Amino acid sequence: MTHDVIVLGAGPAGANAALAAAEAGLKVVLFEQQPAAGGQVWRAPLPGLRMPSSPEKDSGDALRARLAASAVEIRFGRTVWSVGQHFRVDAVGPGGNEHAEAPRLIAATGAHERVVPFPGWTLPGVIGLAAATVLLKSHGALPGTRVVVAGCGPLLAVVAAGILKAGGTVAAIADLAGPGDWLKALPALASQPRLLMRGAAWALKIGGARIPVHFRHGVRAADGGEAIEQVRLAPVDAAGGFSAGPEITLAADALCVGHGLVPGAEIPRLFRTAQTFDRRRGGFIPRLDACGRTSLNGLYACGDGVGIRGALVAEAAGRLAGLASAHDAGALSADAFAAAAGQARARIAQARAFSDAMAEMMALRPAQVAAIPPETVVCRCEDVTRADIEAAHADGARDLNQLKQFTRCGMGPCQGRFCGDVAGELLAAKVGSREAVGAFTARPPLRPVPLADLMGAFDYADIPIPAPAPL
């Protein structure tokens, strides 16, 4: 064993887990794919890029400073490709393949973006809302010169305000929710005054720029030849399906669109830990105890990867998982653990109303999936359409993995991270439930990894070729 605990992911959850475990005296190693900590929400600007201050950047800078001052061994720029039993983690990084071993593993791998497909969603110029935040926060780049921002949840305001702040033009915002939905969420949002103020600042920015906001509108289609040229919006009902009413056509060279987030629970799934389907939390999530322990001894999980709850909860849940790992390792007494865990749980309880309201806004709306036209591509890696998925059902496919074998849906570079939720919903509409349809089996590598990086330099004579098969 090289360490006491391995933490995967340096967002608010993973970084706090690593800090809590290290403060308790554990030898901690933290793997992160990006060049800096912060996750998506507190994403750091690329090295050498100066970005104006913002509350998100400040929170990220504070976390990065705490990590830098801690005893946590941080390995940035590592792509973790294999996570094995008794916890061996293999990653490729600047020095080739490397691995770490520890009796405990904390998975804090965040969430994936969900885009419910519509005609034209694969055109160049159409990007996800979360992808747009990466452009804005890390690269200081605009998604286009005239941008439509569409979808649901708080990222709409984050992206629209971010584009304005960076000097860009927002043609319009289309929100699946109506003003009534936001009003209903207001008491919950008011439970976090700092975040409510942040939202109000975004709203003011958007209002001050007189950006048209089309509530209860979704994207009917993105049109264009080589790239997006215009966006057509249409009214939707509360369930997300299109309703009667005029379309709005907007010229645009970029569309930032997102329909919530899906927990990236591949690591617990890889170990086949118990899971449940929770629509509000974004999909299939691992079953955890109150401290982030999965059903597998030594494996902990926290953050948006175990259900969409946002950064506030992620920080506290990460700390809780880190404390639990330290307690389980015998580095933290029962009393000290109870006291520290109590504080973290109190913070989660305080954040609950806010995080539930936001998660509700971002949950998948079934009628929106039902409205996908038959010829629209659902799996963009492998060009599998809704009609292909339904034909596979007619051919006997009853679960997601069988659908994959019949159609190649989910077999491409993203391994179903992007299409799995919507494909599951389409198949579930025929089969009966998401539980029956299940999730794509998780397999290594967790992210695509170049063969050249994996194998490094070698001599043929050194390859440990096993003994010949029988003749």
Partner 1 sequence: MIHDLAVIGGGVHGSTVALFAARGGMKVTLIERGPLCREASGVNAGTLTLQMTRVALIPYALRAHAMWASAREWLGHDVGVVVCDGLSLAFTEQEEELLSFRAGKRREAGAPISLVSGAEARRIEPGVSDTVRLAGYCKVDGFANAYLTGLAFRRALIDAGVALQENTPASGIVREDGGFAVQTSNGVVRARRIVLAGGVWIEPMLAWLGIALPIKTLINQLVVTERVRPVMRTVVGIANGLLSLKQYPHGTVVIGGGWQGIGDRERGGVELLPDRVIGNVRLACHAIPDLKAARVARAWAGLEAETADALPAAGPIPGIPDAYVCGSVHSGYTSGPYIARLLAERILGHETDLPLFPIDRLLGTATPSEARHD
| Closest distance of CB 146 from partner 1, Å | 34
- For residue 41, give the nearest of 171, 186, 198 by alpha carbon: 198
| Closest distance of CB 147 from partner 1, Å | 30
Interface residue with partner 1 among 57, 88, 146, 232 (CB under 8 A) is 88
Backbone angles phi, psi at 396, to 5 degrees: 115, 0
39-73 burial by CB neighbour count: b if 16+ within 10 A, else e? Answer: bbbbbbbeeeeeeeebebbebbeebbeebeebebb
Q: According to CB under 8 A, which residues from 383 to 422 bind partner 1?
A: 395-399, 401-402, 404-406, 408, 411-413, 415
| Closest distance of CB 50 from partner 1, Å | 33
* Cα(85)–Cα(298) distance, integer angstroms: 10
Kindly tell me the sign of the dihedral angle through the C-alpha atoms of 413, 416, 417, 418: positive
Q: How many C-alpha atoms does 465 have within 13 Å on its Cβ side?
A: 6
| Closest distance of CB 135 from partner 1, Å | 23
Interface residue with partner 1 among 47, 52, 167, 466 (CB under 8 A) is 466
Q: How many residues bind partner 1 (CB under 8 A)?
A: 45
Q: Judged by CB, which is closer to partner 1: 208, or 466? A: 466
Interface with partner 1, residue 297, by CB under 8 A = no
Tell me if residue 300 falls in helix, strand or coil: strand
Interface residue with partner 1 among 81, 87, 121, 337 (CB under 8 A) is 81
Q: Note the helical H segments in 219-309.
A: 266-270
16, 59 contact by CB (below 8 A): no
Q: Judged by CB, which is closer to partner 1: 97, or 230? A: 97
Locate 66 and state its tokens.
């705490």
| Closest distance of CB 273 from partner 1, Å | 13
| Closest distance of CB 451 from partner 1, Å | 5
Q: According to CB under 8 A, which residues from 418 to 457 bind partner 1?
A: 443-445, 448-452, 454-455
Q: Judged by CB, which is closer to partner 1: 103, or 412? A: 412
* Cα(66)–Cα(258) distance, integer angstroms: 32
Q: List contacts with partner 1 (CB under 8 A).
A: 81-82, 84-85, 88, 90, 97, 99, 395-399, 401-402, 404-406, 408, 411-413, 415, 443-445, 448-452, 454-455, 458, 460-461, 463-471
